[in-house]
């Protein structure tokens, strides 16, 4: 091992920030335990939100539906129609910044922004499928109550409010004559639905919808008989459960994770997500460099530059990992030879740990549901999110951990797939139900 890597790993180890300090087997047991408690309505860090949506692939043809997608950074709108072959046609696509991402917005302003964004598509369909990527309790009529914003969205007044009902109010105030049928659905659910429809000709044992972008989360199909916290659903059937896995609270956290958490909008909330997703990894990396320079890993000149630097984004971190030698925001801070290699090992280890935690998250679902033992009928994980696909090494490492942990240790098979425009297509499928 190089001296630089040795220094980085020793420092991370002393701060309990090394990837290998996370024991996958015992973490998976805790994850499954939290899943079970959440399904029973017992105290759990996993919301385990029922969706009342069955993972079925039937889609009506030639019925236009307005599809909305409120993600962590962007708000997208389109009109979607499925042709006779069930191929989606996307028209009138437009993209805006997500309200609340650049400073606080109030309730009315939040929904007025969304209504304005839909604009001329309002008369095109009576149905709206709304991919709303925040912890939201779904009602049997398809509307949803936002529990709380994650991903640093600043719109406190919207928390606790019904999303569809408030959107209809804003649309009526803009001259629309009757309320729309609005179905609220999480982005993991849209990804699962879009994944099922894209691979309808393949035989999978079950499906997972997985997002690793600004935030992280996954959903899966669960037996109604095990969701004992809701009454009155058909005991024989299954429905998709939105785990809200970013909220998992039993992962071991390092000293720097704890310090970083204190700098976020909601300390103590979604601590798992803060170790994994794009809204946070750049900030966590910056703080880890600062802490490493306090511990004496960098020269005085470099330490001073690190201290006064503004936080790196996850994409700065990605650019550094992709092309370590080129001038860039991280590279520019390092004054002495060898320092770049220390910073690189730190960044790489943060990515490795995010991959390990994501693999535990996904594998735990397969282990809990007992799916994918037949190598010919694996579990399909439909995966979406820029961080997963663009942060160098993250996807490859996640797949490697899934292979060693799920296939080698547990004998279960999982395949990954990417579906283009999964949020809009899945929102449209949900809106047509």
Residues in the chain: 433
Give 124's contacts (C-beta < 8 A, 6+ positions apart): 64, 66, 79, 92
Stretches 111-119, 181-189, 223-231, 284-292: which one binds ligand BGC (CB under 6 A)? Answer: 181-189
Using CB under 6 A as the binding rule, whether residue 188 contacts ligand BGC is answered as yes
From the list 4, 143, 187, 261, which residue makes contact with ligand BGC (rule: CB under 6 A)? 187
| Cβ distance to ligand BGC smaller for residue 154 or 329 | 154
In terms of Cα–Cα distance, which of 188, 220, 222 is closest to 40?
A: 222
Stretches 183-191, 296-304, 331-339, 387-395: which one binds ligand BGC (CB under 6 A)? Answer: 183-191
| Cβ distance to ligand BGC smaller for residue 138 or 333 | 138
Using CB under 6 A as the binding rule, whether residue 150 contacts ligand BGC is answered as yes
Residue bearing tokens 């996993």:
46
Q: Min. distance of Cβ 136 from ligand BGC in angstroms? A: 7
| Cβ distance to ligand BGC smaller for residue 414 or 422 | 422
Contact yes or no for 53/240 (Cβ under 8 A): yes
The residue count for binding ligand BGC (CB under 6 A) is 17
Residue bearing tokens 């170790």:
275
| Cβ distance to ligand BGC smaller for residue 134 or 260 | 134
| Cβ distance to ligand BGC smaller for residue 297 or 422 | 422
Pairing status of strand 238-242 against strand 49-50: antiparallel
What is the pattern of x (binds ligand BGC, CB under 6 A) and - over residues 2-41? ----------------------------------------
Q: Min. distance of Cβ 188 from ligand BGC in angstroms? A: 5
Considering only residues 237 to 256 of the shown chain, the ones binding ligand BGC according to CB under 6 A are: 244, 246
Q: Nearest-CB residue to ligand BGC?
A: 215
What is the pattern of x (binds ligand BGC, CB under 6 A) and - over residues 195-234? ----------------x-x-xxx-----------------
Using CB under 6 A as the binding rule, whether residue 314 contacts ligand BGC is answered as no
From the list 15, 18, 186, 421, which residue makes contact with ligand BGC (rule: CB under 6 A)? 186
What is the pattern of x (binds ligand BGC, CB under 6 A) and - over residues 115-144? ------------------xxx---------
| Cβ distance to ligand BGC smaller for residue 187 or 339 | 187
Q: Min. distance of Cβ 408 from ligand BGC in angstroms? A: 28
Sites of contact with ligand BGC (CB under 6 A): 72, 133-135, 150-151, 186-188, 211, 213, 215-217, 244, 246, 273
């Amino acid at each position: 091992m190089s001296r630089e890597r040795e220094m980085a790993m020793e420092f991370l180890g002393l701060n309990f920030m090394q990837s290998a300090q996370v024991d996958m087997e015992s973490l998976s047991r805790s994850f499954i335990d939290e899943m079970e408690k959440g399904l029973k309505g017992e105290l759990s860090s996993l919301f385990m939100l029922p969706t009342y949506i069955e993972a079925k692939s039937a889609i009506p043809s030639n019925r236009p539906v307005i599809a909305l997608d409120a993600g962590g950074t962007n708000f997208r709108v389109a009109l979607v129609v499925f042709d006779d072959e069930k191929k989606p046609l996307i028209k009138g696509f437009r993209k805006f910044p997500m309200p609340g991402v650049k400073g606080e917005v109030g309730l009315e302003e939040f929904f007025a922004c969304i209504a304005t964004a839909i604009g001329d598509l309002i008369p095109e369909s009576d149905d709206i499928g709304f991919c709303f990527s925040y912890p939201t309790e779904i009602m049997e009529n398809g509307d949803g109550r936002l529990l709380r914003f994650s991903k640093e969205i600043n719109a406190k007044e919207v928390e606790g409010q019904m999303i569809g009902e408030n959107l209809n109010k804003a649309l009526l105030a803009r001259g629309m004559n009757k309320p729309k049928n609005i179905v609220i659905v999480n982005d993991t659910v849209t990804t699962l639905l879009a994944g099922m429809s894209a691979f309808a000709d393949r035989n999978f044992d079950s499906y997972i919808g997985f997002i690793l972008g600004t935030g992280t989360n996954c959903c899966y199909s669960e037996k109604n008989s095990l969701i004992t916290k809701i009454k009155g659903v058909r005991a024989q059937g299954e429905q998709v459960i939105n785990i809200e896995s970013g909220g998992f609270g039993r992962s071991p956290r390092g000293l720097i994770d704890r310090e970083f958490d204190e700098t976020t909008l909601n300390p103590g909330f979604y601590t798992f997500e803060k170790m994994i997703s794009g809204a946070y990894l750049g900030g966590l990396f910056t703080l880890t460099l600062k802490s490493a320079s306090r511990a004496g890993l960098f020269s005085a000149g470099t330490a001073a530059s690190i201290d006064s630097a503004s936080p790196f984004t996850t994409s700065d971190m990605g650019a550094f990992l992709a092309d370590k030698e080129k001038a860039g925001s991280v590279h520019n801070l390092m004054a002495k030879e060898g320092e770049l290699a220390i910073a690189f090992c730190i960044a790489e280890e943060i990515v490795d740990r995010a991959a390990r935690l994501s693999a535990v998250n996904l594998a735990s679902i397969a282990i809990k549901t007992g799916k994918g033992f037949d190598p010919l009928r694996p579990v399909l994980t439909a995966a979406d999110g820029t961080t997963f696909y663009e942060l160098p090494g993250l996807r490859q490492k996640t797949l490697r951990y899934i292979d060693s942990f799920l296939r080698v240790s547990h004998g279960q098979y999982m395949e990954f797939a990417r579906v283009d425009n999964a949020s809009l297509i899945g929102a449209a499928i949900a809106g047509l139900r």
